[in-house]
Amino acid sequence: MDFKRYHKQILLKEIGEEGQRLLAQASVLVIGAGGLGCPALQYLAAAGIGRIGIVDFDVVDISNLHRQILYTTEDVGALKVEVAAKRVKALNPDVVVEIFNEKIDTENALSIIARFDLIVDGSDNFPTRYLINDACVLLDKPLVYGSVFRFEGQVSVFNVLDQGIKTNYRDLFPEPPNPAEVADCNEAGVMGVLPGIIGTMQANEAIKIITGAGKTLSNRLFCYNALNNSVYELGISPQPEAQKQIPQTPEAFRKMDYEWFCQRKAHEFTDIDGPTFDQLRQTKMPQIIDVRNLNEWPRVTEFEHLRIPLAELEQNLHRIDPSRPVIIFCQTGVRSITAAHLITERLSARSVYHLKGGIIQWKSKP
């Protein structure tokens, strides 16, 4: 251990020599070497993380330079992972750097993420965020989340147990936003210093998780507005129905289409309440589908229906007649939304209904 290099950090009683050893033994994967990844990489390397992985498939563009401060004008056109690795090694030669010049996807995510102790998400789109989250849940890896938009930034820690509770990205965002209502940084812009603030905070959370120092942002969302310097926090609570949408096995994860999952709001279906559900059952002769897992209660004996768990729905679409009205239900009405989007799109079915509140609410009617 280079005591002189880390002397000021070791002086902190919350870190000390033991904390510094933990940092040296740790491995951190930074996904995305852009606005968030650049400051996170710098401070993780400076802190003495033993092994750092960098995932990115992009090249440096001149439009990156106002916020991605690892790069210079001379780097334009070069691979980000190669330039970032070079700068990290120049900052701290003791750090082992592994680069992955590829897009993170369902084929490579599990094998890459499994090699590291902790993941820092510096991605900039919803499909990748859901993908990274689900892979981390499957592999039980701590995930430090960050995002920026115009003048606003967010930071949180997922998949880390705190006071008996462990939340993830799907607890914060059970459903992705409507693509038509969301602009990215290319359209809306971003204040250049903001990713530096948020990315540095992500590095700070990673260091705290590794050393055990302080209190992390597990189960909390930290929000910062750079325009007026407002700061606030939101508590994150477990959402069991949303968590059930996470693929339960590596095989199911590899079959998951995250691009479709985040684009599906463009396809229409109809929400219905309990009385409307009862009326449709009696007048329209619909095909009713239960997308809960096979072992879930309560049992439904009041009407005929198909039982097709959501994870198996895509492989069983042939069992559904798109010429008939289709009603989908689940436990509380979250998974059935995903199923309704899938059936609407893949079968071009026009009369698709989703039971709001799920079968629990329907059975609790007076």
Identify the domain containing residue 282 by its residue range. 267-363
First-to-last C-alpha distance (Å) of the chain? 68
Average pLDDT, 10 consecutive residues per value, the chain (366 residues):
89 95 98 97 98 97 94 96 97 97 96 98 94 97 95 95 94 78 62 96 98 96 92 90 90 90 69 90 90 89 92 88 89 87 75 90 82
Residues 176 and 74 reside in one and the same domain? yes
β partners of residue 107: none
Q: Is 320 left (phi over 0), alpha (psi -120 to 50) or beta?
A: beta
The structural domain count of the chain equals 2
SS3 53: strand
pLDDT at 267: 53
Cβ count within 10 A of residue 121: 28
One DSSP character per residue, 279-318 reads HHHHHT--EEEE-S-TT-SS---SS--EE--HHHHGGGGG
Q: Nearest 10 degrees: CA dihedral of 70, 73, 79, 85?
A: -30
Residues 43 and 107 reside in one and the same domain? yes
CA angle, corner 222, sides to 221 and 225, nearest 5? Answer: 130
pLDDT at 75: 96
- Domain final residue, candidates 188, 211, 243: 243
Determine contact, residues 289/308, Cβ cutoff 8 Å: yes
Cα separation of 89 and 96, whole Å?
8
pLDDT at 186: 56
Residues 144 and 7 reside in one and the same domain? yes
pLDDT at 307: 94
Domain of 73, CATH number, reads 3.40.50.720
Q: Do the domain assignments include residue 211?
A: yes
pLDDT at 265: 53
Cα separation of 88 and 72, whole Å?
14
pLDDT at 79: 97
Residues 101 and 222 reside in one and the same domain? yes
Residues 115 and 20 reside in one and the same domain? yes
Cα separation of 263 and 166, whole Å?
28
Domain of 279, CATH number, reads 3.40.250.10
Residues 312 and 227 reside in one and the same domain? no
Q: Do the domain assignments include residue 258?
A: no
Residues 70 and 179 reside in one and the same domain? yes
Residues 8 and 67 reside in one and the same domain? yes
Residues 326 and 180 reside in one and the same domain? no
> Shortest CA distance to 343 belongs to which of 327, 363, 357?
327
Q: Do the domain assignments include residue 251?
A: no
